[in-house]
Amino acid sequence: MSEALIQIGVVGCADIARKVSRAINLSPNATICAVASRSYDKASTFAAANGYPLTAKIYGNYEALLEDPDVDAVYMPLPTSLHLRWAVLAAQNKKHLLLEKPVALNVAEFDEIMLACESNGVQFMDNTMWVHNPRTAAMAQVFNDKHRFGQLKSNDIRVKPDLDAHGSLGDAGWYCIRAILLAFNYELPKTVIASRQPVLNKDGVILDCGASLYWEDGRVATFHCSFLANLTMDITAIGTKGTLHVHDFIIPYEEKEASFYVGTESSFDDLVTCWAKQPVKCTIKTDLPQEALLVTEFARLVGEIKFRKSKPEKKWAIISRKTQLVLDAVKASIHRGFQPVEIEE
């Protein structure tokens, strides 16, 4: 690196921050310069347990970190309900923002956060890690390959991630919707209909739900996400000419490589007793885990702004917002008794 490392402050010591702290340490263009918790002791213990540089500053409150002029950017793993307050304050302090998903409780809050980022010229990125795995780019190539995949007809996702700090649809649903948008080249669906029989806990938090998304030209995507079943991360995407299968799309089975399967112009033998051609396994290797690739990309964009006076890259905010719009529509459909909800940008 000819330029200095991007200095990242970690705001909050949630469990997921352990993984992301390791990712920052692994990234060639970023380093951890500070950590904040509501208690100094907790922040100090967390820093020691997670291999923080000895130079990293320890803060017993979030404000102090956000006011530290040495901090270029913050990673914020706070609960979603706290994002509006702290993300806006971070942006106002000119801190570039790597924010845990789901970004906001709804798209109105999302837009407030984004307004703060834009008016302060800071880079925004949500912490959807799997998007940065090189496998995802290879999958997107398949989706866009007219000869190998044709036009997407149907996309189906079944997910059951571990119950994380969010404890709600926002976690699993966020990934499902993002993966659907990826396959549809980020074109928003027209209509969203939630599946019946979602499971809510006594506080109204969604533990299990699903939805079908409809595009005007007849394409459809269905997802189901649950905290109540075995860990599952399946995508079956069917095009006019090809089919893509993946079983570990959010977190790959292994850190250093990730696979998917593609069948193209699949057909049977003459007597229809077996397949003439089986799907092919495609394996993509990576030196850095996907979360470190995310940090590297985030730090690269921050570096462009810091050292070359570039403008923030809006792509990530645009994709996040579309994800939030669909998430809001799923919730609205559940609350309206599974009626269709139209998406309006």
Candidates 128, 72, 141; CA nearest to 100 is 128
Contacting residue, 9, 170, 189, 263, with a second copy by CB under 8 A? 263
Q: Calculate the CA 1 to chain-centre distance.
A: 27
Contacting residue, 81, 119, 278, 310, with a second copy by CB under 8 A? 278
d(CA 10, CA 20): 9
Minimum separation from the CB atom of position 228 to a second copy (A): 6
Residue 2, class by beta-carbon neighbours within 10 Å (0-12 exposed, 13-18 middle, 19+ buried)? Answer: exposed
Which residue out of 57, 95, 101, 160 is catalytically annotated? Answer: 101
Distances (CA, A) of 168 to 62, 175, 205: 25, 12, 6
Candidates 23, 24, 50; CA nearest to 37 is 50
d(CA 183, CA 302): 28
Q: Is residue 42 at the binding interface for a second copy, with CB under 8 A as the rule?
A: no
Minimum separation from the CB atom of position 301 to a second copy (A): 23
Residue 202, class by beta-carbon neighbours within 10 Å (0-12 exposed, 13-18 middle, 19+ buried)? Answer: exposed
Radius of gyration of the chain (CA): 21
Q: Is residue 120 at the binding interface for a second copy, with CB under 8 A as the rule?
A: no
Structure tokens at 85: 């307050």
Q: Is residue 254 at the binding interface for a second copy, with CB under 8 A as the rule?
A: yes
Contacting residue, 248, 303, 334, 341, with a second copy by CB under 8 A? 248
d(CA 231, CA 87): 31
Contacting residue, 72, 171, 291, 313, with a second copy by CB under 8 A? 291
Closer Cβ to a second copy, 162 or 345, answer by number: 162
Q: Is residue 271 at the binding interface for a second copy, with CB under 8 A as the rule?
A: yes
In the chain, the amino acid numbered 245 is H
Q: Is residue 251 at the binding interface for a second copy, with CB under 8 A as the rule?
A: yes
299 and 179 Cβ atoms separated by less than 8 Å = no
d(CA 35, CA 58): 5
* Residue bearing tokens 């990576």: 286
262 and 144 Cβ atoms separated by less than 8 Å = no
Q: Is 256 a catalytic residue?
A: no
Q: Is residue 150 at the binding interface for a second copy, with CB under 8 A as the rule?
A: yes
Minimum separation from the CB atom of position 326 to a second copy (A): 16
132 and 294 Cβ atoms separated by less than 8 Å = yes
d(CA 7, CA 71): 5
Q: In the window 187-246, what residues touch a second copy (CB under 8 A)?
A: 191, 193, 195-197, 199, 208, 210, 212, 214, 218, 220, 222, 224, 226, 228-232, 234, 236, 238-243, 245
Contacting residue, 189, 252, 303, 312, with a second copy by CB under 8 A? 252
Q: Is residue 289 at the binding interface for a second copy, with CB under 8 A as the rule?
A: yes
Minimum separation from the CB atom of position 181 to a second copy (A): 19
Q: In the window 63-102, what residues touch a second copy (CB under 8 A)?
A: none
Site size with a second copy, rule: CB under 8 A:
65
Contacting residue, 112, 118, 187, 255, with a second copy by CB under 8 A? 255
Contacting residue, 54, 147, 202, 273, with a second copy by CB under 8 A? 273
Structure tokens at 318: 């645009």
Provide the annotated active-site residues.
Answer: 101
In the complex, the residues that contact a second copy under the rule CB under 8 A are: 16, 18-19, 22, 149-150, 153-154, 156, 158, 160, 162, 191, 193, 195-197, 199, 208, 210, 212, 214, 218, 220, 222, 224, 226, 228-232, 234, 236, 238-243, 245, 247-248, 251-255, 261, 263-268, 271-275, 278-279, 289, 291, 340
